[in-house]
């Protein structure tokens, strides 16, 4: 603030120059230091350590003197590929994408349902948030109980004449995981969509009314375009959340997991904390990070996260 | 501006360093009475109140004896504990005494972070002789390199429904696996089943396979060689899966059971045998319909397909199961640590612990006083006939590989049949990862 208060005797030209200097060159960047230091401590240093660990042969035998653990270059990365990492990545990505695709219509529909005022809307909104506020652990435990071979789900299915079978092992476990993830994750899309709906100007609604637009064209051509940015952002965040979800598969299926749900966080966990191959698991984690970062980067470039109009102009 | 920038940077750095230093943990003070001993121990979710009371009681006794405080830190799962060990091992500070599960002891040993016990250390805690000799089987790779001090035993036994056995005309529980299968068939009718087995449990399956293989003369690990691809191991899996698919003496829902679910099923009183349980299940069983109608028995010790154990077979009634106490190498309070170990392995403390939590004493004299209890007779016998799993840092991986064979077979079990080829293929995978782990063992 003190910098901006100029002595009156300065010429206009000088002033111009000085102002540009202030805004461009002498911006008080040092104010970013606390955040920067935190970033370094919390993100960059651990990331660097993870990179280093991925290059050394760190296991229970070398853990104690981990600084002296033998450097083995890219061996861990090579071994990752023969340890089923590619399969896990495929499972993780497909599971995450399918879950996101399924939650979007549910989330938007729920947001539309609670957009207009009516009696009990507050209650409906609160109920919609229940899956979101429940801890993942609780969700997984409850679903695990329901999906038992002799559990509630199979009991219901048999009432309508469907043979339930096993949900927590074998190929069906994959669909069980998606089902539970959808159940737990759709309110996130709902929240983002609702927030976007709330930001639609009243004039837009009025203009549509004046033009006599029926509800469906109004929804499709007027309202939904407003949702595009926030919902795409929500999709991105949701997909990343699905990929990183460890609690759900771990509690639902336990470790070792059935092959069909051996998602990335599970394989990294088992390699690290059950096989105690810290080097190998760090390599797996680094590879997963890189592999996720590529589409993420492409995607971010494509959408540019145009949530606000200003964002769109830049 | 520059000086301001520097000052700000310095300030923030100082702050960051200070907060980093805060994470360093609180070690005991310089000397004398003000010391604190840190003990890492498993949380007891079954009896939390009693456990808190026990900790308080031990603290009081320890303070009276040594003048020092005991601070208990609990972990919820083996993985929590492992994480704690890892961070402590890397940083060289943390708990002074660890309570570590028996099968995890080899892994802990392989980190080299614990005090090796010589005569002096054993004498400090009252001598090696005070322990049930079987429990020392997993203290270290050999007599000279022991790190684990036996604390409690949780030997595995089976429970049987006395009424159901009687009704089927069976006068005594099975002592061979074949006999067990036969008796189970006799008892299976309608909604009653011969056996309760937790097929989906993450720890149970390998214990069956290990037990049957050891009894048949294959300890699974021979030096640096994994011996999973072996007819004896195959026979073990075949028997274990066959109860469900071939003999149909297990409730088909057991494909989804973990151990507590199998306990619950047996407690309903409609199952002849509940395989693989420990005295910690007594309370659950006494609260069920089976109350007063069940007894413990030794697990069979004659391998499947045989009427007597082969000459190289081992009479393994149970894996050597329970907890060991390990003293951290980095500890500055080693003497106090051994004082603590002495206190909790003394006869009186051990019996008290048994009464509160159902964990059997590792103390030989304390165990002897329990063997006259008719309900516990078989359990104390199982404690004496427990056999240690191979002492190698690779055991964790081998255990995981053995369990994985069962996990990946569950869909087939659900369909009601599994072929020998399928079992063989999965055993081959297990052999591969077991051998890889052994190759890495140092």
CATH for B395: 3.40.190.10
Q: pLDDT digit string (tens) for B286-335?
A: 999 999 999 999 999 999 999 999 999 999 999 999 999 999 999 999 99
My answer on whether omega of the bond before A256 falls inside 30° of 0, hence cis, is yes
Backbone angles phi, psi at B31, to 5 degrees: -165, 180
Identify whether residues B379 and B413 lie together within a single domain.
no
Average of per-residue pLDDT across A11-32: 64
pLDDT class for A294, splitting at 50, 70, 90? confident
Between residues B422 and A275, the one the model is more confident about: B422
Q: pLDDT digit string (tens) for B416-438?
A: 999 999 999 999 999 999 999 99
Q: How far is CA B316 from the centre of its chain?
A: 15
Q: What per-residue confidence (pLDDT) applies to B91?
A: 84
Residues of chain B neighbouring A259 (CB-CB closer than 8 A): 408
Which residue in chain B has the smallest CA separation from A277? B437
Identify whether residues B192 and B228 lie together within a single domain.
yes
Identify whether residues B217 and B168 lie together within a single domain.
yes
Interface of A with B (CB under 8 A): 26, 30, 33-34, 37-38, 41, 59-61, 63-64, 66, 148-151, 165-166, 168-171, 254-259, 270, 273-276
Q: Find all residues with CB under 8 Å of B37, minimum gap 6, and list them.
A: B28, B62, B68, B69, B70, B71, B96, B97, B333, B336, B337, B340
Q: Which string of DSSP letters, residue by residue, matches B60-109?
A: HHHHHHHS-EEEEEEESSHHHHHHHHHHHHHHT-S-SEEEEEGGGHHHHH
Domain count, chain B: 2
Q: What per-residue confidence (pLDDT) applies to B30?
A: 35
Instruction: Kindly give the confidence (pLDDT) of every residue in chain B, 442 residues in length, as a single tens digit, with 9 standing for 90 and above.
Output: 444 444 444 444 444 443 333 333 333 333 447 899 999 999 988 788 999 999 999 999 999 999 999 999 998 877 778 788 888 888 888 999 999 999 889 988 988 889 999 999 999 999 999 999 999 999 999 989 999 999 999 999 999 999 999 999 999 999 999 999 999 999 999 999 999 999 999 899 999 999 999 999 999 999 999 999 999 999 999 999 999 999 999 999 999 999 999 999 999 999 999 999 998 888 889 999 999 999 999 999 999 999 999 999 999 999 999 999 999 999 999 999 999 999 999 999 999 999 888 899 999 999 999 888 888 899 999 999 999 999 998 998 999 999 999 999 999 999 999 999 999 999 999 999 999 999 988 8
Which residue in chain B has the smallest CA separation from A41? B16
Identify whether residues B275 and B238 lie together within a single domain.
yes
Identify whether residues B330 and B218 lie together within a single domain.
no
Q: What per-residue confidence (pLDDT) applies to B357?
A: 87
- Interface probe with B: pick from A59, A158, A169, most Cβ of B within 10 Å: A169
- Interface probe with A: pick from B2, B264, B410, B433, most Cβ of A within 10 Å: B410
Q: Find all residues with CB under 8 Å of B375, minimum gap 6, and list them.
A: B282, B295, B296
The boundaries of the domain holding residue B196 are 157-318+391-440
pLDDT class for A15, splitting at 50, 70, 90? low
Q: Is B21 inside a domain boundary?
A: no
Identify whether residues B105 and B240 lie together within a single domain.
no
Identify whether residues B311 and B328 lie together within a single domain.
no
Spatial CA neighbour of B428 closest among B436, B416, B417: B436
Q: Is B286 inside a domain boundary?
A: yes
CATH class of A84-313: mainly alpha
Q: Is B23 inside a domain boundary?
A: no
Contact between residue B218 and residue B228 where contact means Cβ atoms under 8 Å apart: no
Beta strands in B237-373 (DSSP E): 271-277, 294-297, 318-319, 322-327, 360-361
Backbone angles phi, psi at B261, to 5 degrees: -70, -35
DSSP-assigned letter for residue B116: -
DSSP lists the bridge partners of residue B252 as none
Q: Which string of DSSP letters, residue by residue, matches B389-436?
A: PP--TTHHHHHHHHHHHHHHHHHHHHHT---HHHHHHHHHHHHHHHHH
Identify whether residues B415 and B266 lie together within a single domain.
yes
Q: pLDDT digit string (tens) for A140-188?
A: 999 999 999 888 999 999 999 988 888 998 899 999 999 999 999 999 9
Q: Find all residues with CB under 8 Å of B394, minimum gap 6, and list them.
A: B221, B434, B437, B438, B440, B441
Q: Is B402 inside a domain boundary?
A: yes
Q: Is B29 inside a domain boundary?
A: no
Backbone angles phi, psi at B274, to 5 degrees: -115, 110
Beta strands in A186-264 (DSSP E): none
Asked whether the beta carbons of residue A33 and residue B202 sit closer than 8 angstroms, the reply is: no
Q: Is B18 inside a domain boundary?
A: no
Contact between residue A281 and residue A288 where contact means Cβ atoms under 8 Å apart: no
Identify whether residues B120 and B237 lie together within a single domain.
no
Q: Find all residues with CB under 8 Å of B2, minimum gap 6, and list them.
A: none
Q: Where are the domains of chain A?
A: 84-313
Which residue in chain A has the smallest CA separation from B432? A83
> What is the nearest CA distance from B79 to chain A, expressed in angstroms?
7
Contact between residue B262 and residue B290 where contact means Cβ atoms under 8 Å apart: no
- Cα–Cα distance, A189 to A238 (Å, whole number): 8
Q: What per-residue confidence (pLDDT) applies to B11?
A: 44
Report angle CA B158, B78, B149 to the nearest 5 degrees. Answer: 75
Identify whether residues B228 and B365 lie together within a single domain.
no
- Cα–Cα distance, B135 to B321 (Å, whole number): 8
- Cα–Cα distance, B82 to B88 (Å, whole number): 10
């Amino acid at each position: 603030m003190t910098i901006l208060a100029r002595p009156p005797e300065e010429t206009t030209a000088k002033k111009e120059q000085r102002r540009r200097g202030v805004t461009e060159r002498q911006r008080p960047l040092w104010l970013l230091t606390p955040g920067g230091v935190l970033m370094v401590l919390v993100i960059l240093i651990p990331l660097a350590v993870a990179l280093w660990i991925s290059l050394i042969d760190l296991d229970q035998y070398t853990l104690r003197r981990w600084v002296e653990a033998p450097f083995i270059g890219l061996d861990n990365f090579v071994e990752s590929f023969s340890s089923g990492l590619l399969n896990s990545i495929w499972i993780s990505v497909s599971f995450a994408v399918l879950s996101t695709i399924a939650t979007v219509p549910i989330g938007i529909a729920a947001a539309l349902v609670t957009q207009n005022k009516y009696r009990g809307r507050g209650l409906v909104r609160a109920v919609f948030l229940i899956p979101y506020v429940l801890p993942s652990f609780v969700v997984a435990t409850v679903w695990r109980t329901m999906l038992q071979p002799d559990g509630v789900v199979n009991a219901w299915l048999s009432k309508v004449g469907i043979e339930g079978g096993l949900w927590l092992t074998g190929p069906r476990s994959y669909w069980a995981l998606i089902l539970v993830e959808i159940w737990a994750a759709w309110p996130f899309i709902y929240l983002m969509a609702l927030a976007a709906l709330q930001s639609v100007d009243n004039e837009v609604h009025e203009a549509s009314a004046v033009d006599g637009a029926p509800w469906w064209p109004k929804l499709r051509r007027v309202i939904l375009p407003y949702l595009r940015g926030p919902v795409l952002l929500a999709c991105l965040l949701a997909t990343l959340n699905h990929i990183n979800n460890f609690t759900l598969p771990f509690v639902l299926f336990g470790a070792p997991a059935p092959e069909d749900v051996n998602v990335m966080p599970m394989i990294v966990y088992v390699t690290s904390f059950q096989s105690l191959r810290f080097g190998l698991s760090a390599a797996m984690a680094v590879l997963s990070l890189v592999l996720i970062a590529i589409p993420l980067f492409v995607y971010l470039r494509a959408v540019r996260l145009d949530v606000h109009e200003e964002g769109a102009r830049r | 501006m520059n000086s301001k920038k520097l000052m700000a940077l310095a300030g923030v750095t100082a702050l960051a360093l200070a907060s980093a230093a805060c994470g360093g943990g609180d070690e005991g003070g310089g000397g004398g009475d003000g010391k604190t001993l840190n003990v890492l121990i498993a949380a007891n979710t079954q009896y939390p109140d009693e456990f808190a009371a026990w900790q308080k009681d031990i603290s009081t006794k320890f303070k009276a004896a040594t003048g020092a405080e005991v601070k208990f830190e609990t972990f919820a799962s083996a993985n929590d504990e492992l994480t704690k060990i890892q961070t402590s091992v890397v940083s060289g500070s943390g708990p002074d005494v660890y309570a570590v599960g028996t099968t995890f002891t080899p892994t802990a040993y392989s980190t080299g972070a614990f005090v090796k016990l010589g005569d002096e250390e054993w004498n400090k805690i009252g001598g090696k002789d005070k322990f049930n000799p079987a429990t020392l089987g997993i203290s270290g790779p050999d007599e000279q390199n022991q790190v684990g001090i036996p604390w409690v035993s949780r030997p595995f036994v089976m429970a049987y429904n006395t009424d159901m056995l009687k009704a089927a005309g069976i006068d005594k529980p099975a002592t061979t696996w074949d006999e067990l299968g036969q008796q189970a068939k006799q008892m299976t009718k309608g909604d009653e089943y011969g056996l309760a087995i937790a097929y989906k449990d993450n720890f149970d399956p390998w214990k069956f396979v290990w037990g049957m293989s050891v009894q048949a003369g294959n300890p699974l690990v021979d030096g640096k060689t994994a011996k999973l691809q072996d007819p004896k191991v195959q026979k073990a899996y075949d028997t274990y899966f066959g109860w469900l698919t071939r003999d149909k003496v297990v409730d088909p829902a057991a494909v989804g059971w973990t151990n507590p679910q199998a306990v619950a099923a047996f407690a309903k009183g409609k199952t002849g045998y509940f395989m693989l349980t420990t005295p910690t299940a007594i309370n659950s069983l006494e609260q069920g319909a089976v109350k007063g109608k069940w007894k413990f028995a030794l697990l069979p010790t004659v391998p499947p397909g045989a009427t007597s154990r082969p000459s190289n077979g081992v009479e393994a009634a149970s894996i050597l199961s329970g907890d060991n106490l390990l003293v951290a190498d980095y500890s500055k309070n080693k003497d106090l640590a051994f004082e603590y170990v002495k206190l909790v392995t003394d006869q009186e403390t051990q019996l008290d612990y048994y009464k509160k939590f159902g964990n059997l004493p590792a103390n030989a004299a304390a165990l002897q006083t329990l063997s006259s209890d008719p309900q516990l007779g078989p359990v104390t016998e199982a404690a004496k006939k427990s056999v240690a799993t191979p002492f190698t840092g690779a055991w964790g991986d081998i255990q995981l590989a053995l369990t994985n064979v069962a996990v990946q077979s569950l869909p087939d079990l659900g369909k009601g049949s599994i072929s020998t080829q399928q079992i063989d293929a999965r055993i081959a995978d297990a052999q591969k990862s077991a051998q890889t782990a052994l190759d890495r063992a140092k």
